[in-house]
Amino acid sequence: MILHTVPVLFQWLFKTRLWKKSAGEDTLYLTFDDGPVPGVTDYVLQELAKRNQKATFFVVGDNVQKYPTLAQEVISEGHKIGNHTFNHLNGWKTKNPAYLSNIELCDRVLWDVLGIKTELFRPPYGLIKSSQAEQVSKFHTIVMWSMLSGDYDQSLKSEVVLRNSIRYTKAGSIAVFHDQLKTTKVLQKILPPYLDYIQENGWKTDVL
Ligand SMILES: [Zn+2]
């Protein structure tokens, strides 16, 4: 079972992490994790461009190195890029020095390949030790979420993923999707109707 929203108590316990934004009442923050991956990220870019919507992409440094043109396209389309480590590491399973240097490596690739610096970081799997978060938050805003689409959960039917995504989308929501190979099929089903839904209902989108 997935928790599509994050309990308030939990958000309060981890105040140093960003769970939602309180900008305009009709603004949403779409985020896509794990790319850039050819065949998926370009699809997402295309769908966002059709509706003139903006998103934040938490990229894996290794993928940026492999697919620099696609990563560059994310930026030139007006979206924002955040750090998602170089090797998609699980913070709970990684020693602090290795975890921190993997984040640094991703930052370095973003600078070398794309010429950008990002203040945004999202821990893969949402898992980060407090001691790691303490270090990371000196240089980055740790971005969590308030709406988890469940697009990566292969046991869920796409209609369910879409329905839940719509149900739990609220003002200031930080919504998580994944542009990776495993979610390609489900994204093709849910992304167009979800993006249409938010547009038809007057929601604006913005980068973080
Ligand atoms: Zn991830």
Task: pLDDT band for 161, please (50, 70, 90 cuts).
Answer: very high
Catalytic residue among 4, 84, 178, 179: 178
Q: What domain range includes position 105?
A: 23-201
Angle at 99 between CA 97 and CA 104, to 5 degrees: 90
> Per the domain annotation, does 66 fall within a domain?
yes
Percent of the chain with pLDDT over 70: 91
CB 208 within 8 A of CB 30: no
Q: Which CATH number does the domain housing residue 146 bear?
A: 3.20.20.370
Position 87, amino acid: N
At 47, list the tokens.
């769908």
Q: Which single residue is written with the structure tokens 């240097």? A: 101
Active site residue 88: no
Q: Which single residue is written with the structure tokens 């769970």? A: 19
> Per the domain annotation, does 7 fall within a domain?
no
**What's the confidence (pLDDT) of residue 103?**
98
100-112 residue pLDDT tens: 999 999 999 999 9
> Per the domain annotation, does 17 fall within a domain?
no
Active site residue 79: no
> Per the domain annotation, does 147 fall within a domain?
yes
Compute, in angstroms, the gap from residue 34 CA to the centroid of ligand 1: 5
pTM of the model: 0.92
CB 128 within 8 A of CB 142: yes
- Domains contained in the chain, number: 1
> Per the domain annotation, does 31 fall within a domain?
yes
20-52 residue pLDDT tens: 776 667 899 999 999 999 999 999 999 999 999
At 20, list the tokens.
């939602």
DSSP state letter for 201: T
